[in-house]
Amino acid sequence: MILQTTLSLAAAAAVMNIWLGMRTGKLRYNAKILHGDGGHPLLMQRMRAQANFIENTPFVLILTAAIEMTGKGGTWLAIAGSVYLLARISHAFGMDRTDTNPLRAIGFLITVLTLIGLSAVAVLISLGQF
């Protein structure tokens, strides 16, 4: 069984993680900070944006793969995963700001809704209700 949706989302997530790391690395290089955040607020924010991505994305990919393996996926699953990844880009840019902002809020909200939605679908599938 080829999990096309999961493979595509995982590949996109890997590229996104590289992008998040490069943004952090470039700032780290320019600020000449080798370890930690060195008390540099923007560096800390970018490190947290990448860490937050790494904290949430595996759950999305695991749930996506599990749902896809049951044969209950389809276009809706690819759209949900794509929206999630776009939300994580929004969150990353929102983390660059020090104020409360819609980019970060939208990224967070869509992340939570995606995890709740995929979890609910997984439970419903396991109960034979989906």
Residue-wise pLDDT for 11-67, tens only, equals 999 999 999 999 999 999 999 999 999 999 999 999 999 999 999 999 999 999 999
Number of domains the chain contains = 1
Domain at 99, CATH number:
1.20.120.550
- For the entire predicted model, the pTM comes to 0.94
- Tell me the per-residue pLDDT of 69-119, one tens digit each, with 9 for 90 and over: 999 999 999 999 999 999 999 999 999 999 999 999 999 999 999 999 999
- How would DSSP label each residue in the chain? ---HHHHHHHHHHHHHHHHHHHHHHHHHHHTT--SS-TT-HHHHHHHHHHHHHHHHHHHHHHHHHHHHHTT--SHHHHHHHHHHHHHHHHHHHHHT-SS--HHHHHHHHHHHHHHHHHHHHHHHHHTT--
pLDDT of the residue at 128: 95
Domain with 100 in it: 4-126
Cα–Cα distance, 78 to 71 (Å, whole number): 13
